Structure 1
């Protein structure tokens, strides 16, 4: 069932996105040939970014012709950095290249619960609860395994800094959900960064959150909670105290999420001094990263918890373009009111408990 009533916060997001689209829009594309993850032969289910230099392909670049006269023996990542610089230098003002490091959060308690209950039962009953009396997964925190996955990323970044002299992110962004905040902190806090590198001070950004479903793990906590959890981290302007997007009844469609992702990317590209700040970290979620990849025209590439995918992106302003989107489509999501009878592929509520589309409240 399509739902036309939108929250004031969501209406504000839609209005701002449409207003920006009237003046100009941004066309995104993935520049392939640089990372193994771009290639159809690379199997996402078995890919380990820590085993293959983040996936950076060992190859030559046009920028190497300039570098060879400097008499320096540069690493692959150093040469790639100069190639990105060259792409930006050679492009006009309406074109910009950035390298996005899209990192999925480590395992959260919601991930562990879904594995325990099975996806059908999780989706139509357990995910609508705050927890089960043993674990809490409302705005889920990282499990011990999730912390370890983030520390693996931390150690790999340090190895790349020490051995490859990788250009670390010029800007950091993170979803406001707890598991992403924690992952960003475990991954980047305490790194021995290169001289003159940008400090790790991530901007908490609402639109990089997970796809908004009726699951309580997608219901973010308050702005005050985030400030207390990580004092000193900037939170974007307009960020509301309470979550005005999640209501426990309606869920984003893929199209609505992609529109949101495009808006978020539009606030990352073409900012002040943006061509000089071409390396960007975004700590987010599986569904949101999949959405970003769709917006960028990248092939589908599913990330394991804690994994990272770098993408070289070309963004081009298209002046005078107008938006064709008039509404954001959301759907009502029915769920069981008691634990379901499940099969391998579907969820079936007991005959005595018909599915409902109201928030599930129960004592557990």
Structure 2
């Protein structure tokens, strides 16, 4: 039986390969120049099919978040226990390039700025009143909760207590809150004094980039760090949190593209630094709308004090992330006097 002989080309290829693997690569390692790892970027998306708001037939205007909890089941496990097992399975059985986290997104209760916009009307609010720190009876610069807003937060508290007792809902492992006072108060009223496990205490981190759309409106200009700390002395700030508001502008307001870039930075920071699966964010309507856009979730507006869970898939893909410049902010049409039809209080 004839024996085939390697061609000269094959021998040259083998010699070249051996030279690279036995000489060049070790030399690069010795010189501290190991081959650069391939670049990756992460894409975030919503995993649908689990919650009412995923269904296009669910109308946000008639949505009551406290009813999306107790579907009947013949299983010994509750609906939420079965869902927690599903998330665990997804993270365990999936690719190492894919991570799943459940975000509990909560909007703050009614603030005095919400009350003022309802009273004056959106046109007069946007044009004039939103630029003011308040009127003769109310202050809405970094607006506080109204009595109705506090009551809404207590409804959310009762809802969580109910789910903990009856549904065994997975407790948040990490809490984040916007630095605006209405969100801080909502988070406190919602989660304080719940029957939480010792390894999952309610100690939220105050995070700059999950705040409301920024600019022009005084209700979205945050208080100083020292003011916040005086009200919530045991709550940590994220690293680099400035004393004075570094983002608010009296002349320009964020566009959707600008807030979406800020939201993506917040999501990237949370997913890259927080290994936990169940995460609570106490935030705002504009911020939640932005987060849903970034996560490719359907448009779903929340009323004051409402909340939704969103299952998020983070997948690492080869190659660099698309490069985008900073999105522009926009000037806002304003008026120097309140519109004639507006009524002052």
TM-score range, shorter chain: 0.7 to 0.9
Superimposed CA distance per residue, residues 241-287 of structure 1 (whole angstroms, 9 cap, x where no aligned partner): 00011121111110010010000000111335x2xx21110000000
TM score, norm. by length of structure 1: 0.81
| CA-to-aligned-CA distance 1:183-214 (integer Å, 9 cap, x gap) | 00000011012x45511011100000001131
CA distance in 2, matches of 1:219, 1:327: 21
1:54-93 equivalences under 5 Å are 73-93=76-96
RMSD: 1.9
Match for residue 144 of structure 2 among 141, 144, 158: 141
Alignment of 1:234-313 (within 5 A): 234-271=236-273, 274=275, 277-313=276-312
The answer on whether the counterparts of 1:168 and 1:197 sit within 8 Å (CA) in structure 2 is no
What residue is the counterpart of 2:317 in the other structure?
318
Give deviations 1:29-78, integer Å, cap 9, x for gaps: 1111100100100011011111221xx86689xxxxxxxxxxx8211101
Q: Distance in 2 between matches of 1:341 and 1:38?
A: 43
* Equivalent pair of 1:201/1:233 in contact (CA under 8 Å): yes
CA spacing shift, 1:328–1:167, aligned 2, 3 Å = same
Give the ranges of 4+ consecutive aligned residues of structure 1 lying more than 3 Å apart after TM superposition. 56-60
Q: Contact conserved, 2:42 with 2:321, CA < 8 A, in 1? A: no
Q: 1:158-190 deviations in whole A, cap 9, x for unaligned?
A: 010011111110111000000000000000011
Contact 1:96 1:270 in 2 (8 A): no
- 1:353 corresponds to: none
1:323 Cα deviation after fit: 3.6
Does residue 1:165 correspond to 2:168, yes or no?
A: yes
Task: Output the CA distance in 2 between the equivalents of 1:117 and 1:103.
Answer: 26
Contact 1:35/1:57 (CA < 8 Å) preserved in 2? no
Distance 1:323 1:237 in 2: 27
**Per-residue deviation, residues 276-335 of structure 1 (Å, max 9, x unmatched):** x21110000000000000000000000000000111110112343134212221111231
Gaps spanning 5+ residues in structure 2: where? 1-37
Q: For the structure 1 residues 24 and 175, does the alpha-carbon distance in structure 2 shift closer, same or farther, using more than 3 Å as the test?
A: farther
- The change in CA–CA distance for 1:23 and 1:284 in structure 2 (over 3 A counts) is farther
Quote the Cα distance in structure 2 between the aligned partners of 1:202 and 1:323: 32
Q: Which residue of 2 aligns with 1:212?
A: 214
**Which has the greater radius of gyration?**
2
- Contact kept? 2:112, 2:145, Cα under 8 Å: yes
> What's 2:6 paired with?
none
Call closer, same or farther: CA 1:98–1:255 in 2, change over 3 Å.
same
CA distance in 2, matches of 1:73, 1:57: 13
| Unaligned residue ranges in structure 1 (runs of 5+) | 1-21, 61-71, 344-363
Aligned to 2:180: 177
One of 27, 38, 42 as aligned partner of 2:43 = 27
- The 2-side partners of 1:337 and 1:101 are apart by 40
Number of residue pairs the alignment of both structures matches: 306
